[in-house]
Structure 1
Amino acid sequence: MTNPLKNLSDQGVAVWLDDISRERLRSGNLSELIRDKSVVGVTSNPTIFEKALKEGDAYDAQLHDLAVRGVSVEEAVRAITTYDIRWAADVLRPVYDATDGQDGRVSLEVDPRLALEAAERTVAEARALWWMVDRPNLMIKIPATEAGLPAITQALSEGISVNVTLIFSLERYRGVMEAFLAGLEQARENGHDLHTIHSVASFFVSRVDTEIDKRLEAIGSEQARGLRGRAAIANARLAYAAYEEVFSSERWKALESAGARPQRPLWASTGVKDPAYPDTLYVTELVAPGTVNTMPEATLEATADHGEISGDTVRGTYEQARADLAALAEVGVDYDDVVAVLEREGVSKFEKSWEGLLDGVSQQLKANS
């Protein structure tokens, strides 16, 4: 029998799970996914934590202790989330050791309300989370807003591994890679071991199709409707083309010779939202070496069950990808407006989830006090 997830890994795609909960950790489910489903990393976000807190009793004992101690809501949230991340990091530590730190990574996001704030506040939060979790396989998630770019550079320069999140546009992705290179150059000057600093650039996929398909339906022409479901894959494939360009440059080679590892493209938001599309679309069509695909559990299981991994599906497609984006412009889809809307919505959604998490913890602290 074929093993699609192993095949995916063999093609150079690291399989990460886009979910975490204390129940998943307590039950041993994460260990099972590592053993049986080729999972070598975990990502989290405020929405995931908000959902986890509402399910089961796994957090009750800690919430009771936090209430008795009279801690603030925000301190309680940090205590809860860093506990889970530290536990997941320990579960994944054997993978981290076996891959020389390439995988076995767990990501924790800074407060999303800082996404549009000055870099100083984001960096201060990144330092605090790095210290609280205190695991070498941690990655701090920082949104790729304009305000976030200097924070990414600063965090990397201090030896903090960074998962850059909420990337939608090709232009912003180039800015992210520039921030990464600048951060490693400063880290080298600061005397850090570059081999220990890791970064991924989380390029969001399905949300691009959701927004553009909506606009194509509104345009309503046959030509427009014929472009549905093509934008996200084209966008991601051209991101990989940009990655290949930057990480073959002389500037990068100088860092590589000093021990640095490339900032891998990570395909995020890979759960298919339109039932008209194959449920493994954003996995099978984005197979390329040196990438990460972080999947919701449903996508992971779908890929394990019936994913068809037929080799590299990215390199060699750039001309068609450019043609697809050009065709979108021809029918009246404004790419720059699309990615701007998606970034604003992405920040807003995470802020809303963070507020929901704060509210949920507040209520439970009161109930336990």
Structure 2
Amino acid sequence: MRTQVAIVGGGPAGLLLSQLLHRRGIASVVLESRDRRYVEQRQRAGMLEQGTTDVLRESGAGERLDREGLVHHGLELRFGGAGHRIPLTEMTGRTVTVYAQTEIVKDLVALRLADGGDVRFEAEVLEIDASAPSVTFRHEGRVETLDCDYVAGCDGFHGVSRPAVPGIRTFARDYPFAWLGILADVPPSTDELIYAHSDRGFALHSLRSPKVSRLYLQVAPDEDLGAWSDARIWDELAARFATGDGWRLREGPITDRAVTPMRSFVAEPMRHDRLFLAGDAAHIVPPTGAKGLNLAVSDVTVLARALAERYETGSERLLDDYSATCLRRVWRAEHFSYWMTTLLHADPEADEFARRLQRSHLEYVTSSEAAATTLAENYVGLPLA
């Protein structure tokens, strides 16, 4: 077997890279360890920067996004019983769109298969050779080797790609809290996202569709999910979102719930020889800034352009710059996600002095146009490299 680019991982990063390469006439094979049903039903958030939606449209995966995505022009920071709107579009000229990662994966799988793409589900990667590039994998009971020009490791934090990079440096921070996230069959109580800070902890009201709400509660990292009944979840959400103007939270049947730990992680470099890391294989951000999926899209956009230049002109200039180019954006997003997380969460280890500083910072962000613009610019996403 031989292809130009072997892609390890069939999540949004790997599938989008395959589609972008296809649009440039570059062949690829996607190897995904899970089955198609699992990949298409894996629940993840979906707050898309404008740059991300532009790339999805460029790839041919924008039709359903444009029809069903919820475009937002602002967000609300809520604390002290009052809401404070940050007008994103007014401040930056850009928007964000709510469209679940699950739906992006469905769109990309359908698109790749319709275009004759080689996407192999339940393909367990056993070994990656970055020098004489090849990927050895087990599929349908047979062990096979896929020879290639380049390997793209898009297989997530727990994948096999990052361990194949010798001498890699890692930087990490764990947070003293986690998110309890739910999906509920109830129309959202808001038209734009609400990021709420209270002494009880952080809460986020997001949207999945006009009929489905996505909500989150700050909990302990070792929280027992079984201790949270539906009634307890709704009561706690209502308490953290409470305002003095009579705003009410709509409640409905909870269809999915999970506790997600929060951490920051970066691996450097994102390249070894002919192996390139992208997405969660190279970096993780806490979800507060909604940057995870957007960083993955940025990575594969940079990589697709670099590979296109290599095949069209023979130049490896952009490939040589890949890691440095991506990491500039990664570290900016890491800082923004860290900043949003520490701004909004109740730190169980903080003293009264730290809590007063946090409240002062919230008041500054919502009263200073310069501070609010900094939040807005980073939230909607900086222009792609």
TM-score with structure 2 setting the length: 0.27
More helix, by proportion: 1
More strand, by proportion: 2
TM-score with structure 1 setting the length: 0.28
